[in-house]
Amino acid sequence: MILTNILFASVLFLSSMSIFDFSKDSDLSNWNVVDDVVMGGRSNGSFSVNDEGNGIFKGSVSLENNGGFSSVRYRLNPKKLNGQSKFVIKLKGDGKRYQFRVKSDRFDRHSYIYYFQTTGEWQTVEIQLSEMYPSFRGMKLNMPNYPGEVMEEIAFLISNKKAESFELEIDSIGLQ
């Protein structure tokens, strides 16, 4: 029984992959805020690291000029996924709903998305890769869900069809 538990823990550890683990010294150069201003909107987001060493995505969403979203995106070198089946994200939200997004290729127009609700407390959000569906500009596409083979970009987005301020604190993002 003990050997079985050790083998299971070893397999779990080997199949885990850290995407980003925030600290006070985190390099945010591959993180970029993209707001609806690219389409004439007036939303305003920012991304930084706080004194506790967590990523902070905050700002305000405006509906002016047909706006309504703010996002922060992380580009990475193509990463092959090796049997991982879910994203595991430790975060603290503000009670609002967000999207987590992934792209297999950063030049794809579509993203694979998953909505999650924050509680205002620290929580671990687990997202099955197979539940992430393809979407482009808010429209679900008639394509298979995320194949979970390669990724080049992840993102957090807020777009709840209302003007609101937001703040999402992120500790770590990984795959299991």
Alpha-carbon distance of 94 to 103, in angstroms, equals 25
Examine residue 6 and state whether it is found in any structural domain, yes or no.
Answer: no
Examine residue 10 and state whether it is found in any structural domain, yes or no.
Answer: no
Examine residue 74 and state whether it is found in any structural domain, yes or no.
Answer: yes
Q: By residue range, what is the domain housing residue 170? A: 18-175
Characterise 68 by phi-psi region: left (phi > 0), alpha (psi -120 to 50), beta (else): left
Examine residue 88 and state whether it is found in any structural domain, yes or no.
Answer: yes
pTM: 0.90
Q: What is the pLDDT of residue 9?
A: 40
Q: What is the pLDDT of residue 14?
A: 47
Q: Which ranges of the chain have pLDDT less than 50?
A: 3-14
Examine residue 130 and state whether it is found in any structural domain, yes or no.
Answer: yes
Which of 145, 69, 76, 147 lies closest to 114 in space, CA to CA?
145
Q: What is the pLDDT of residue 17?
A: 94
* Number of domains present in the structure of the chain: 1
By CB atoms closer than 10 A (0-12, 13-18, 19+), residue 176 is middle
Examine residue 152 and state whether it is found in any structural domain, yes or no.
Answer: yes
- The CATH number given to whatever domain includes residue 167 is 2.60.120.430
CB 64 within 8 A of CB 43: no
Examine residue 138 and state whether it is found in any structural domain, yes or no.
Answer: yes
Examine residue 121 and state whether it is found in any structural domain, yes or no.
Answer: yes
Q: What is the pLDDT of residue 153?
A: 98
